Chains A and B, each alone.
Chain A
Amino acid sequence: MSRPRKDPRAERQARAVPGQRPRYDLARRPETPGGRPRHDPRVEIARARVPGGARLRLDRTQHAGSSPSVAIGAMSATPPASTTLLAAPTPRVVAEPAFLVFAVADAPDGRLTGHDRQVLGGARLLADADGGAVVLLAPPLVDDAGAAGADRLLALPSLGYAPETLAAALLAEIAARAPRHILFPESPDGGDLARRVAVSLGEPLFADVEQLSARTAIRPTGGRRREQAGAPPRLMTLGEGRVAPHLGDPHEARTIDPCEPTETTPGILRAEAVPADPATVSLADARFVVSAGNGITDFTSFKHLAAALGATPGASRVVCDAGLMPRAAQVGASGTVLDADCYFALGIAGAPQHLQGIAGCEHVVAVNTDLHAAMVERAELSIIADAQAVMPALLRLLAEGGA
């Protein structure tokens, strides 16, 4: 009996139309909230209408505000307004930490990898349980370490590839600051550094942790037939994709001064990077893939473009079926599932099977004539244009830049 009683007289009075004689507008919607909103097809069509162009085009993607991100004509170099309007949250400060957790990042060319961010996420788990602070040890960074969850930032020397010097610098920091935990990524360089530090400290290494919380750490042993579980030890390496990166409020990432490392005589005299040849590397290993679909007819230009961009050429199923590209270049569920950082789709609509193949790609750029293609929906930057016309322009600009 908690339903409010209706008062017919008051309801009738609320619909009264002011004037000389008593008139009531009974069709008018009551002002009270509740009730399903009425559809107004004309207003909806007006909202979905894409301005410019000769023929009527409607953007019926059901995003908030219908079409805020469609910029017409003019080049909008700024990112969508929604990200700039958000006020930056004040960073969290851990002024007096109870203990320190070291997170050592690979950060090749100053950018934190996804794995590095996961290591920081793991370090945050360990630090937040007991009021500790996370110290990020990495070569000088261009990325925002605070957003990744670091309370302190300690720059390691960046001398190219010098693991022995790096290990000596780390050992000096560990001796000076006595962290409770030291977390490394189980990556080729991170795992190598962790083992160098472990044997120098003479401490056991809890390698390739698969599950980490503030109370337990678990790692496989015995050919993945057994596992070890216990309280998180001091030295750990964290497997990839095991702990979520830090997504909460940013931390202050205050820079602290490194200690003076002890002198070492490195056995490694020099090192030079030999970048992977994008033309010969397999699609599964490629870091940047440019892919052709049904919107491409000139495959000579396409191959030149892939070479000029330094990308590995790929293709959609339609193109491979037609024999225009080799089967080994097919991207998708029945071809290769990519692990690339960036995917550049030229004239590909984006069948579900194709999108499965690029599910792991971090950045997707698309050129397509169809505004409503699934690939345009997936991409972070989409150009609605004929890919066949954009290719020569790209080649021309790349040639100018290289000259």
Chain B
Amino acid sequence: MKITVLLSPGLHPLSGKPVLPRLEAQAIALGKSLGGVLSGLAAASCPDGVADALGHGLAQLDLIATTEGEDPMPLLAAALAEDGPKLVLAGRRSQGGEESGLVPYALAKALGLGVVADAVAIEPGTEPGTLSILQALPKGARRRVVARLPMVVTVHPAAPPALPYAYGAARRGTLRARRVQAAPGAPDAAPGLFEERAYRKRPKLMRGAGTGGSAAERLRAATEAGGAGGRVLTDLSPEQAARTILDHLAGLGILR
């Protein structure tokens, strides 16, 4: 099976230097575990960061040169249409640019593929031409999805860790500069619609804290233990107590 891993230059969280995003290194490991012919595809203005993928187990990487701020979508779509991979693995979203996470979906739309998000494990399905994908959900839950090939799969941070970086493998791997003919992407729908400025950190709402009333009331609600308290039952026999607790938990939808 032909597998393409989509790569992009990421930002180091501290220094801001270009690195290979962790999710994309994990995507390489996931693709290798599946077997088949694995190759990388990236659209970037310079190979910094992206080239590290060769050290993480990728044998071949195609790099499409772009100019700074160019939309990579049409170039990637044209290259993928030429290659025709069965499976495209990608991270959740690029780093350093718009970061809307639309590229995997837009590629799938352009090439007529299906999309499955947040994979932690992939294995061949029981029927031919399908894959069985384990999807990560919040709170440790999982979902097994059987989907038809070809498709785009994005990788979740809970996927198995990336292969360790190997200098020898990075030297042996081939990095090819690739040229594709593609119509230029649609220009920004309304340039200057949004003001670009330095990020300001904003606090999140405190879970359980009151949101109404004056500031003093909210502070009291946030710091006092539980306010007026709840139901207090004394002098119950253990059976009555157990019944009450189970009824309450069932009422909350906790007990299935």
Taking beta carbons and an 8 Å cutoff, which residues of A are in contact with B? 50, 52-53, 61, 63-64, 69-73, 75-77, 79-80, 109, 111, 114, 118, 161, 164, 187-188, 191-192, 195-196, 198-200, 203-208, 210-211, 218, 220-231, 233, 240-245, 247, 266-277, 281-282, 285-288, 309-310, 339, 341-342, 344, 350, 355, 359-365, 367, 371, 374, 376-385, 389-390, 392-394, 396-398, 401
Partner of A223, one of B96, B136, B193, B207: B96
Residues of A near B102 (CB, < 8 A) are 195, 198-199, 205, 207
In the complex, B183 has a CB within 8 A of chain A: no
Provide a sorted-by-A list of 19 A–B residue pairs whose CB atoms are within 8 angstroms: A73-B235, A79-B231, A114-B207, A188-B118, A199-B106, A206-B100, A207-B102, A221-B98, A226-B197, A229-B197, A266-B114, A268-B146, A274-B141, A361-B208, A371-B234, A381-B245, A383-B244, A384-B234, A385-B234
Residues of B near A50 (CB, < 8 A) are 234
In contact, A220 and B199 (Cβ under 8 angstroms): yes
Residues of B near A111 (CB, < 8 A) are 253
Partner of B136, one of A188, A286, A381: A188
In the complex, B228 has a CB within 8 A of chain A: yes
Residues of B near A195 (CB, < 8 A) are 100-102, 105
In contact, A393 and B242 (Cβ under 8 angstroms): yes
Nearest A residue to B248 via CB reads A381
For the complex of A and B, the 7 pairs showing the least CB-CB separation, nearest first, are: A267-B114, A380-B230, A276-B140, A241-B204, A393-B242, A230-B194, A393-B238
Please indicate which of the listed interface residues A52, A53, A206, A383 has the most CB atoms of chain B within 10 Å of its own CB: A383
Residues of B near A242 (CB, < 8 A) are 202, 204-205
Nearest B residue to A285 via CB reads B140
In the complex, B2 has a CB within 8 A of chain A: no
Besides the known contacts A230-B193, A342-B252, 6 further A-B residue pairs in the complex with CB atoms under 8 A apart: A222-B11, A227-B200, A268-B146, A271-B146, A341-B252, A378-B225
In contact, A211 and B244 (Cβ under 8 angstroms): no
Residues of A near B202 (CB, < 8 A) are 210-211, 218, 242
Please indicate which of the listed interface residues A233, A271, A344 has the most CB atoms of chain B within 10 Å of its own CB: A271
In contact, B231 and A271 (Cβ under 8 angstroms): no
In contact, B143 and A226 (Cβ under 8 angstroms): no
Chain B: minimal CB distance from A163 (Å): 8
Count A-B contacts at CB 8 Å: 276
Chain B: minimal CB distance from A236 (Å): 11
Nearest B residue to A207 via CB reads B100
Residues of A near B231 (CB, < 8 A) are 69, 71, 76, 79-80, 380-382
In the complex, B215 has a CB within 8 A of chain A: no
In contact, B246 and A287 (Cβ under 8 angstroms): no
Chain B: minimal CB distance from A341 (Å): 7
Partner of B242, one of A77, A221, A275, A394: A394
Residues of A near B208 (CB, < 8 A) are 359-362
In the complex, B1 has a CB within 8 A of chain A: no
| Assembly CA distance A261 to B104 (angstroms) | 24
